[in-house]
Amino acid sequence: MVTSDVGSKKWIIATSIALGLFMSFTTAMAAASKDSVSTQRGATNHYVAFGDSLTAGYEPYKGRYYGFVDRLYEQALYHGRAALVNDGIDGLTSTGLRTWLDSVVKDRPIDIAMVQPYLDDPNDGTIQHGKHMFAQPEVVRNDITTANVITITIGGNDFLNSLAELLPMSAMDRATFAASLNKTYDANVKQIISDLRTLNPNARIRIANQYNPLWSSMIGYGEFENLATGFTKNLQSVIASLNDTSGQGASTSTNASVDAPLQMVDIAATFTGHQLSATHIAQADVHPTQLGYSYKAEDFAASLWKNPVKLSGSSNSITVVADGRVLSSDEVALINGSAYVQVRALADAFGLTVNWDATLEEIRWTGVPSNGVTGDSIDMRLHVGSSDVQFNGSRATMAGTVHLVNGRSYAPLRSLVGAIGGQVVYVAPDNAAYIVQ
């Protein structure tokens, strides 16, 4: 086929972009713990993320990352106290991750050059662990063994590093070479999952297929759509073999069950038709936009939790989540720039009894909190216009006074929750506050 020089360049650009991300295989693993993160409240949810730039949340020209991992962490907060470790490293390949996890299983420190030649994450420091963790296998081992949820995005760099060889090839040779890369990649993924299950044998695993970042009118779209379809079929085969090996039964369908040990999350279907808005492809970059990362988080969340919550915080209002319930807008108020919560609404969320003494203008909470903030019976008293709080006979001072607004009492959120032994975790991008035990 004869093409113009311009057309040839367009094909090379399109091929480079598409191969780079399309083969960026994404895995989500819910590693084992005594409690299922999908059903238990009050338990601590440990979320660990391994992988490449998609785990890190990379976007071009962005200094601070906010990707799907951050959003999935927020879903964990919705179910109770949660902790996040993000081990996403830009440029990491499946071979690099396999080498790293192998050193963790063997409890053997490893140098960065041994993990992967020329691996140097320029974003180290914005990520919690990064390359320094290669020398601390005991820390990573603890992260894995205590995790409820583990996610992995890996594989894109495997193919990016081979583009120089792939591009000049004929279609037949390219297919043969891609099949060889896939074979190596499949072996790496199987070993990665095996290592994680060695350290956390009851792990639930979620593996996403890959989206085609090219839109339908772009040169090469059809070819790479075919590759995406083939990749999905290959991934389903890998999932089935891994489940059969574990004796837990194969699950290859999307969102088969939040309790399934291993299944595929079909992010490719979600991105189809939304490539221009969900990726930076218009700027010749395949990474997701904020909308794209939101799509990924929603797909993963739906595979891990029943009815994941969708928040819509704004700069003018704050969303408060208490014991899995999103408080209504009239139950939350911003007073002098601080978050206040309706006293009765928070008590109801915790299953406490509220009594009002009009003469003393006293609000009294009694009972045992339903979400396990404290296992003991509580007796707490507040007074309108005062910042004092009496809790089981002890006195404390809140950050602000109790306000009466339209006949309803409001108290400082963080102080009120802290008084009964709880904690407020604030997530700035969503302007949301999660009340956890």
- pTM of the predicted protein model: 0.78
Closest to 383 (Cα-Cα) out of 404, 405, 407: 404
> What is the tens place of the pLDDT at every residue in 17-48?
444 444 433 332 222 222 333 333 344 778 89
Closest to 433 (Cα-Cα) out of 294, 358, 331, 280: 331
- Phi/psi region, residue 277 (left: phi>0; alpha: psi -120 to 50; beta: rest), is alpha
Fold for 319-436, please state it: Copper Amine Oxidase; Chain A, domain 1 (3.30.457)
Looking at 161-165, 237-241, 250-254, which range is the least confident one?
Answer: 250-254
On the question of pLDDT at 285 being above 80, the answer is yes
Angle at 305 between CA 299 and CA 308, to 5 degrees: 70
Q: Where are the domains of the chain?
A: 5-304, 319-436
On the question of pLDDT at 179 being above 70, the answer is yes
On the question of pLDDT at 405 being above 60, the answer is yes
CA distance 299 to 200: 24
> What is the tens place of the pLDDT at every residue in 56-104?
999 998 777 899 999 999 888 887 778 888 988 888 999 999 999 999 9
Architecture of the domain made up of 5-304: 3-Layer(aba) Sandwich (3.40)
CB-CB neighbours of 108 under 10 Å: 9
Predicted pLDDT of residue 77: 85
Predicted pLDDT of residue 312: 57
Predicted pLDDT of residue 375: 59
CA distance 167 to 379: 71
CA distance 428 to 421: 23
HSE-up of residue 19 (Cα within 13 Å, Cβ side):
23
On the question of pLDDT at 130 being above 70, the answer is no
Say if 5-304 and 319-436 have the same CATH topology: no
What value does the mean pLDDT take over residues 236-265? 68
- Phi/psi region, residue 105 (left: phi>0; alpha: psi -120 to 50; beta: rest), is alpha
Which burial class, exposed, middle or buried, applies to 238 when counting CB atoms under 10 A from its CB (0-12, 13-18, 19+)? buried
Percent of the chain at pLDDT exceeding 90: 23
> What is the tens place of the pLDDT at every residue in 100-110?
999 999 999 98
Supply the DSSP symbol for 261: S
